Structure 1
Amino acid sequence: MRKIDHKKIIKKFENDISELWQYFSDVERYIIMQNPSRKDLLIGHLSEQVFVSMAVLFEQFISDIFVAYINNNSQQFSSYVCTSVQNDLSNNSVKQFVNVSIPTNLNVAQIRELLMPDDDNIKFADCKILKKKAKQWLVEEHARKFSKLHRDDISLINSIKKIRNYLAHRSPRSLKSMISILKEIETASPTCKNYGLGINLRAKNRDIGNYLKADIEDGRRVEVYLQRIHSIALTFM
């Protein structure tokens, strides 16, 4: 059975991020040329739109990389599913007579049906849950890619989840959660990979577009997020 090449998944994500970045640059340039009096507002809106697109692409990437890793070696995943089903049997008197068995050579359709029965992407609120899923579902070789994520990369992924959630809901709860993570994303270390991304937003400041479009050392913040998530994807090679 032909296996998915996880490197192709990573390459596709690289291309998707590059195209999104180019889209941002093209539209930003058009706004500056055609509507200079409203450029701050419009580039702020553009930054929010591009950020959400980036976050969705990353969620899709994570789902695809899990499928590829399991397709490459589904021994751990099959074992986890069997144990879960066995433990879910409510009748203890019957459980002792039931032996759950799942093939260790699952195809892509079978993996997707077991991983994502609702046809949605894999859900994870933060990296802690993501690492837990990796440990449960993946053989050590692949699970290590998640457990060895740098702390700055973990902070960045968590911030993407929180900002995306706020942009999708604009609720007081999501705002509070976003503000909390943005206070922590940048450490005092001079080698911090997230330099310039930290900011102490006030609770009354709901304009995340200003945060994302702001210029820092390596470009606008939204562009730094694009560059950083691109680099993180390469660690899954």
Structure 2
Amino acid sequence: MKADPAVQRRLLDLAEVDAELARVRHRRTSMPELAELAAAEQAVRARRDAVVAIRTQLDDLDREAARQEKEIDAVRAREDRDRKLLSGGTIGAKQLTDLEHELASLERRQSVLEDDLLELMERREAVELDTKHADLELGKAEQVLADVTHRRDENLADLDTNEARRTAERAKVLPGIPEDLLKVYTRRHELRGIGAALLRARRCGACRLELDSREVSRIREAASDEVLECPECGAVLVRTAESGL
């Protein structure tokens, strides 16, 4: 294939733009913030699960406390009724004895229930402190997530700007390259990631390998408009005064 040397040199401009676009794509998928974001999201999920678990425990204690209070109220109501019967003076001796036994039993029952309720409220107080701590830890985790997300979005915005600029530069370079030469470049770029490179000091700018004397002789003897490829990586070799020929 033949192409004017000046046109071949335009491939270097295209390769430079494509290399920068490749770097942009790589940074999109490898920026540190992505790993930080995944860790931050996991931390938030863990903290939220912890909050739910502790709040569930707190709700269970509240229900148990309400049940205990209801039972205490029932014992007190029964005790009040019995005392009214006692004070009424209208019951027989046997019923009087039974009521006295029942009142003693109710008092013991009320004492046990009140002790249980006190212990329950102490446990609830401790769990409530755990709830506040869990809420605080969740808030911290959410703030970390927000900060990482903000940094990620800023980096993506910068990459978007860079990509848009490089894409515009590429669009300016393309019209100066013949279609058949562009096809050769594109095939090499898709295969190896670099479609064209400068031959500098007898070394390919794509694979960085120095050409042997036989290849150097072949290239030296080739016409200046001959499109040559690196024998190692296949990239189009663009010759200039720096090629060392």
Q: TM-score, normalised by structure 1?
A: 0.25
Q: Which has the larger radius of gyration?
A: 2
Structure possessing the higher relative contact order (Cα contacts under 8 Å, 6 or more residues apart): 2
The structure carrying a bigger helix percent of its residues is: 2
Q: TM-score, normalised by structure 2?
A: 0.24
